[in-house]
Structure 1
């Protein structure tokens, strides 16, 4: 009995060790190699951000500049038959979903910041945004300096909130879960202004008459494609794909498609020559 018990215990330990090794190897696997094997790249994209990633109620698909970029990058990396699978993320969920391996890469209005670069890797900037303000047209707020003593609405997981604390330290900041809630709060006068990147705000202004974007851009918010640390081959492939798109005219075509008719938005400044 003792020998049998010892043998069972020994085999159990071996199985646990082997299982642990398998998990370790899995976490170290190349996402790019797996994508090429399955001919699919899984992307985290927004579903609540007009112009970049907004779910179309007609077919349930997220559509926008970021979504199209993901599709084009996929074709450049995997070839014309490559498939881009979209997973809807929020500002709050995009990093955890990426770190947990639920998505291969995130292209979701995500600014490249030193804090994020500690845990994620980024492609080169594919869209140079800047933080601004959305206010009612009747508002007396003209710039970020006018926010002191006011209530400013932001979204959880966005670095815009921290920026407001810097430019208007006496402003009260309210953080909500997504942009739909944020806009509703602004409409119901729970705040005096909504702040985030100007590209997102222009999309919100198009959807909500009576509101406009003000304040210029008081920060630089370069958007990058986020991938997990250590996936250098995927980062390199994404950078190469973006460069090829810029040279071929694909990038300019997508910029004009999504931003060409937006009032007040000078899309030509974003063109990559």
Structure 2
């Protein structure tokens, strides 16, 4: 009799475990999550629109076949995978080119759902949009033609500096010049390629941009002998993916995607792919992850032990 009771108890326990497991697997079907904002939009359409830069290597640019590629796009792919897992359905990706001038407007208007570029997370921008965890740390330096004697901000007295419209560089460089009481002439271009071309054409004595983007442009254009990145950092900037503000469900999925990247150290592999290994052009940036970035990723919980 004791044996029968024991068998019955075991059978009951097994049945209960199976029932609980089934409940865990089907709970979303029985009590589906009520999505809002961006996730609701994606679930109903089966589509996510990714904004990308066309000439911001190695973060986002077009390869030889015209396909958007880069460090930021690989990170966005991880976010898309997490969104698909959350919604329980395949998601189609549509790519939308953006510029420094229109990227914030395209996010706030809903034209794009996630911006995958080289956008700096600033206090002023956070009034309009939201950001992922930091993906890169950089700062403004100067690109000059060889054999220019410009080596610092003070050497720009009476010179012309090219900046790209819609960037923090266009905002901060005049402020830095004013603080140093330097008479610098600033000219603007629509994107980084145009800024680079203006410098090459002699329409400016220096091009102010984040150092990593300057090195990326030199590598992609194979012009290391013609140009030099000079000076100390004039500012510091944290890059991040950008999406709509006041959308907690979407923000949670983005955070979760970055946490999962760290669990397999995937973020390190993605970084090495674009900053250590050859770019599609065959050129290497050879920019190991800085101690600052390594520590930042650890603090953010983006890297596994």
Cα RMSD (Å) of the superposition?
Answer: 2.1
**Equivalent of 1:56, from 55, 63, 67?**
63
CA separation of 1:263/1:120 partners in 2, compared to 1, >3 Å: closer, same or farther?
closer
Is the contact made by 1:136 and 1:212 (CA closer than 8 Å) also made in structure 2?
Answer: yes
DSSP-derived class of the 1:124 partner: coil
DSSP-derived class of the 2:163 partner: strand
Partner of 2:10: none
Is the contact made by 1:129 and 1:222 (CA closer than 8 Å) also made in structure 2?
Answer: yes
Structure 1 residue 266 displacement after superposition: 3.5
**Equivalent of 1:30, from 2, 26, 37?**
37
Q: Which runs of 5+ in 1 are unaligned?
A: 1-27
Is the contact made by 2:272 and 2:288 (CA closer than 8 Å) also made in structure 1?
Answer: no
Is the contact made by 1:260 and 1:267 (CA closer than 8 Å) also made in structure 2?
Answer: no
Is the contact made by 1:145 and 1:167 (CA closer than 8 Å) also made in structure 2?
Answer: no
Number of residue-to-residue matches in the alignment:
245
Structure 1 residue 157 displacement after superposition: 0.5
Is the contact made by 2:164 and 2:188 (CA closer than 8 Å) also made in structure 1?
Answer: yes
Is the contact made by 2:61 and 2:68 (CA closer than 8 Å) also made in structure 1?
Answer: yes
Is the contact made by 1:205 and 1:213 (CA closer than 8 Å) also made in structure 2?
Answer: no
TM-score of the aligned structures, taking structure 2 as reference length:
0.74
> Distance between the aligned counterparts of 1:207 and 1:244, measured in 2?
31
Where do residues 11-30 of structure 1 align in structure 2 (5 Å cutoff)? 29-30=36-37
Partner of 1:134: 143
Is the contact made by 1:130 and 1:221 (CA closer than 8 Å) also made in structure 2?
Answer: yes
**Equivalent of 2:71, from 65, 71, 83?**
65
DSSP-derived class of the 1:246 partner: helix
> Distance between the aligned counterparts of 1:148 and 1:235, measured in 2?
44
DSSP-derived class of the 1:168 partner: helix
> Distance between the aligned counterparts of 1:51 and 1:264, measured in 2?
12
> Distance between the aligned counterparts of 1:141 and 1:265, measured in 2?
24
Larger CA Rg, structure 1 vs 2: 2
Where do residues 1-273 of structure 1 align in structure 2 (5 Å cutoff)? 29-58=36-65, 60-79=66-85, 81-169=90-178, 170-208=183-221, 209=223, 210-261=226-277, 262-263=284-285, 265-269=287-291, 270-271=293-294, 272=297, 273=303
CA separation of 1:263/1:62 partners in 2, compared to 1, >3 Å: closer, same or farther?
closer
Is the contact made by 1:39 and 1:78 (CA closer than 8 Å) also made in structure 2?
Answer: no
Structure 1 residue 216 displacement after superposition: 3.2
Structure 1 residue 29 displacement after superposition: 4.7
> Distance between the aligned counterparts of 1:247 and 1:214, measured in 2?
37
Partner of 2:3: none
Could you list the per-position Cα deviations for residues 37-64 of structure 1 after superposition, in whole angstroms to 9, with x for gaps in the alignment? 4443221110111211112242x21111
TM-score of the aligned structures, taking structure 1 as reference length:
0.82
Structure 1 residue 263 displacement after superposition: 4.5
> Distance between the aligned counterparts of 2:267 and 2:146, measured in 1?
33
Structure 1 residue 156 displacement after superposition: 0.8
